[in-house]
């Protein structure tokens, strides 16, 4: 279980999240994370166009450059810049530099169970369960996203179709031994 001060690390792209505020500390209002992404890092959560139907995301850049595609616009953000992604907006993000790390504060509101999804993804990365592109197998992703509905969907595919597919694939995933949640046991020792 994630607590204030917990640290999770994704070795795939040197992505470290330190939880400043959690679901528990804000009464579910929001989740706040101090984030560092290694040079050229495409994040496990943000590299592919996706949308959060009920949650607003905020990125506050402290150093480095954040590449963000939101809607049909893509640009780099630098120290002092702030980006807000409204609920339902298709977007993707990554470190915009191949030589410098990116440091930023990340907020998502409401928190819902987003920290459990992050803990699961980083746990899988620690176990080497990501492919070359830094994502878990689709059956694992389906099991997790079915367990936590209305958190994240791929852009460009109807949400109702994804919900149906995740429900069907989650049954197969369970039968094959995939679990929707994985406890993180790496850096920070949650």
Token pair recorded at residue 61: 């850049």
Q: What is the pLDDT along the chain (190 residues), one digit of tens a residue?
A: 789 999 988 887 788 999 999 999 999 999 999 999 988 766 655 567 899 999 999 999 999 999 999 988 999 999 999 999 999 999 999 999 999 999 999 999 999 999 999 988 888 888 877 776 667 788 898 999 999 999 999 999 999 999 999 999 999 999 999 888 888 876 654 4
Axis crossing angle, helix 114-126 with helix 138-147, rounded to the nearest 10: 160
pTM of the model: 0.89
């Amino acid at each position: 279980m994630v607590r204030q001060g917990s640290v999770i690390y994704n070795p795939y792209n040197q992505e470290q999240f330190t939880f400043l505020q959690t679901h528990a500390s804000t009464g579910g209002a929001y989740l706040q994370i101090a984030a560092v992404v290694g040079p050229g890092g495409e994040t496990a959560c943000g590299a592919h166009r996706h949308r959060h139907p009920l949650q607003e995301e905020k990125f506050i850049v402290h150093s480095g450059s954040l590449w963000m595609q939101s809607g049909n616009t893509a640009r780099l953000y630098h120290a002092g810049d702030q980006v807000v992604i409204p609920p339902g907006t298709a977007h993707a993000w990554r470190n915009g530099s191949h030589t410098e790390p990116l440091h930023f504060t990340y907020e998502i509101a409401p928190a819902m169970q987003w920290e459990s999804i992050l803990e699961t993804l980083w746990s899988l990365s620690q176990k080497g369960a990501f492919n070359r592109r830094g994502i878990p197998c689709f059956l694992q992703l389906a099991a997790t996203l079915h367990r936590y509905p209305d958190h994240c969907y791929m852009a460009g595919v109807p949400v109702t179709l994804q919900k149906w597919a995740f429900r069907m694939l989650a049954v197969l995933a369970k039968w094959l031994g995939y679990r929707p949640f994985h406890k993180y046991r790496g850096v920070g020792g949650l």
